[in-house]
Structure 1
């Protein structure tokens, strides 16, 4: 189908996302608990679901309209990333992926969002 071809083209054209080692090595200071999971889910629903989808597969309503590949949080290559790398990517963004530095201003909330997306 055309959607599959378009997705493959985006993936092939996209440059690898290089994360500075300072961020790559960062450890998430918060454990995922029932309470923190609830906060992460609220943040995900508000800021991420429209592109990444309900189950984190990169199939949200806006995904097909973007020029870059939307990350699939259930994929092994995604799960192999460090929490620090994901923190960097959500904080600074790139291309179609917006920066959430000004939208999620509490550092704790940024980490709780990382916990939630890693739970897919």
Structure 2
């Protein structure tokens, strides 16, 4: 009986708090989002060579990994139109664009490894071989 009374009191206090906070008007701020500049890998990244270049099996494996990890933001065809990407700033890259495709494999590898908000770093969560496989698949999106 005592536990029930305590629970009701806590619930009532929580409800009152919610109502109070919900009706307090937050101060207006003049917020302007900060644009991120062009994402350029360092020149040293261009020297990183793809050990799996031309490996057909790696493309198939890379496509599977892409579907699991990248599709949600970059979209099914790599256009940057994935469901999760809609709310991101900056928007996910169009992986089919000439700007993206003109990068070296090493530059793309570096970007996947390093990440840049809102894209996380995949250095520790995707093994190196899988990252190269993803890049080989991305090359088929031209």
TM-score range (shorter-chain normalised) is 0.7 to 0.9
Q: What's the CA shift string for 1:60-85, capped at 9, x where partnerless?
A: 01111101121101111111111011
Measure, in 1, the Cα distance between the counterparts of 2:118 and 2:111. 12
For residues 64-110 of structure 1, the C-alpha deviation after alignment (integer angstroms, 9 at most, x for no partner) is: 110112110111111111101100000010011111112112x2211
Large movers: runs of 4+ above 2 Å: 31-34
Gaps of 5+ in 2: 1-32
Equivalent residue, structure 2, for 1:58: 80
Deviates most, 51-60 or 65-74? 65-74
Unpaired runs of at least 5, structure 1: 1-9
TM-score by length of 1: 0.83
Q: Indicate the SS of the match to 1:90.
A: helix
**Root-mean-square deviation over aligned CA pairs:** 1.7
Normalization by structure 2: what TM-score? 0.71
Which residue among 111, 132, 136 is the counterpart of 1:111? 132
1:86 paired to 2:108: yes
Q: How far, CA to CA, are the matches of 2:56 and 2:49 in structure 1?
A: 20
Q: CA deviation at 1:13?
A: 2.4
Count, aligned residues: 109
| CA contact 1:14–1:69 (8 Å) conserved in 2 | no
State the structure with bigger RCO (CA 8 A, min sep 6), 1 or 2: 1
| Cross-structure match for 2:13 | none
Query: Greater Rg, structure 1 or structure 2?
Result: 2
